[in-house]
Amino acid sequence: MRELREAIQAHGVGIGKDVVKVDSFLNHRIDVALLTKIGQTIAEAFREDRVDCVLTVEASGIAAALTAAQALGNVPVVFAKKGDHINVGADVYTAEVYSFTHRTSFTIRVSRSYLSEGMRVLIVDDFLANGEAIEGLRSILRQAHAELVGAAVCIEKGFQPGGKRLREEGIKLLSLATVEAIRDGEIIMAGED
Ligand code: 5GP
């Protein structure tokens, strides 16, 4: 998606060899016009997939999940919660996720009442790196006997294996922008996505 690639190039910061910081428009401050376009682009790709629900992980996936769900006709968004919130209750599906950015594992939880058997679910997230977050969400969908229609991410880091693995499994994956490498703080983008 051209607008997203341009935003990454104009405002993204490369940290070390493998972290892309996009706080100014996606992860801390949110560019609403850009996120609206992101949602519309995701919805166009999954329009025929009869999506019942969009699933993401708090907090940074919620913005794109929300605009995608809105563009898909106001289907609900469910976001997996991190940590052991008392208000999530005990009747939950859980999965362990290793966080690339926090370098530690945590448990994600989704209330059983928000996913049901046969529900057609689109996973949306901000980044795809090693694929751990999406794997955790897929595990929750399997527990609920819900159906994964595909996954959409704003930014795929092509030098990490998550995207390749999902494609090899035959999962419909939409990446709106792909970062090929980070060199001396410079973010190297792939061409057209
Ligand atoms: P994965 O689970 O695919 O290894 O990593 C994806 C998750 O980690 C996303 O939910 C995202 O929040 C976070 N993440 C991974 N890489 C980056 C990155 O380079 N920058 C930012 N801001 N978040 C990242």
Task: Assign residue 111 the CATH number of its domain.
Answer: 3.40.50.2020
pLDDT tens column, 37-94? 999 999 999 999 999 999 999 999 999 999 999 999 999 999 999 977 666 677 999 9
Residue 150 has a pLDDT of 98
Distance CA 126, CA 154 (A): 5
CA of 182 to the centre of ligand 1 (A): 15
pLDDT tens column, 118-161? 999 999 999 999 999 999 999 999 999 999 999 999 999 999 99
Alpha-carbon separation of residue 120 from 5, 55, 73, 131, 153 (angstroms): 29, 10, 14, 20, 18
CA of 101 to the centre of ligand 1 (A): 6
Element (H, E) at 179: strand 173-183
Distance CA 137, CA 123 (A): 8
Burial of 171 (0-12, 13-18, 19+ CB in 10 A): middle
Q: Global pTM?
A: 0.97
- When divided into structural domains, the chain yields a total of 1
CA of 88 to the centre of ligand 1 (A): 24
Which domain, by its residues, includes 154? 2-189
